[in-house]
Amino acid sequence: MTVELVTTLGKSFLFVLATMIPILNPAASAPIFLSLTEGASARTRNALARRIAGNIFWLMAGSMLVGSYVLGFFGISLPIVRVGGGLILAAMAWRLLSASPQMDDSRAALVESFTPEHARRQAFYPLTFPVSCGPGSISVAITVGVALYQERVLLSLASTSGALLALALIASLIYLAFANASRLLRLLGDSGAAVLLRLSAFILLCLGVQIVWDGASELLGELLQRAIPRDV
């Protein structure tokens, strides 16, 4: 029995790790985080990174454990979540793409205005959702949560424990990537960092459009199924 529990825990750990890391992708989100926290001190960024990592852990854990029940309670389907969240993500990416480079005097003003209170207000929206953890991540987490279900209680607990351990590891990686984003991008220089930021923002825009398309396609498919009369 113990071997079976450990095996179940290990399988769920690897399953969640392999599924969620490509979706959350800390390395790709780090330049976006750095741009949205322009003017923040290293201490403020470190605190933000810790808070964002914690937010992502609880948001993903909640989506896995109770996400399907919450959506069912409010009558919200996953395609609707994808369309709404994808629009927010695309709008955020477009703002980053169209932003003009900050001048030295502008950066100095941002340093004065980016207070710890301002950072705390931005910790969840938009830095956690939808930049670091978007609707696609939530949809995947809900789907993964359904796949983790086991009929036997002990096996279900082991499977859930493995998933939570994987989420804790992913949150730690996100914290490390965000907390050290400025050091990593400093190696690229100003021009290299600007290119990486624009590229990341463009990928983020494409991801938002893809999420909207996926949700709209599912909604259109449901509409067509209802419109086509079934054979009696």
User: In the chain, what are the domain boundaries?
Assistant: 2-227
Question: How confident is the prediction for the chain on average, in pLDDT?
Answer: 79
Rounded Cα–Cα distance for residues 43 and 198 (Å):
25
51-105 pLDDT, tens digit per residue, is 999 999 999 999 988 887 787 788 877 788 778 767 876 777 787 777 665 544 4
Q: Would you say the C-alpha torsion 65, 27, 52, 134 has a positive or negative sign?
A: negative
Q: Is the pLDDT of residue 206 over 60?
A: yes
Spell out the residues 6+ positions from residue 142 whose beta carbon is closer than 8 angstroms to its own.
63, 64, 67, 68, 71, 78
Output the pLDDT for position 231. 56
Neighbours of 5 (CB within 10 A): 17
How many CA atoms are closer than 13 Å to the CA of 172, on its beta-carbon side? 7
Q: pTM of the full predicted structure? A: 0.71
Neighbours of 138 (CB within 10 A): 24
111 φ/ψ angles, rounded to the nearest 5 degrees: -60, -40
| Radius of gyration of the chain measured on its C-alpha atoms | 20
112-127 pLDDT, tens digit per residue, is 455 666 667 778 887 8
Cis ω before 130 (30° cut-off from 0): yes
144-161 pLDDT, tens digit per residue, is 776 777 778 888 889 899
Output the pLDDT for position 223. 84
Percent residues over pLDDT 90 in the chain: 16
Task: Calculate mean pLDDT across residues 122-150.
Answer: 79
Assign 110 a pLDDT band (cuts: 50, 70, 90): very low
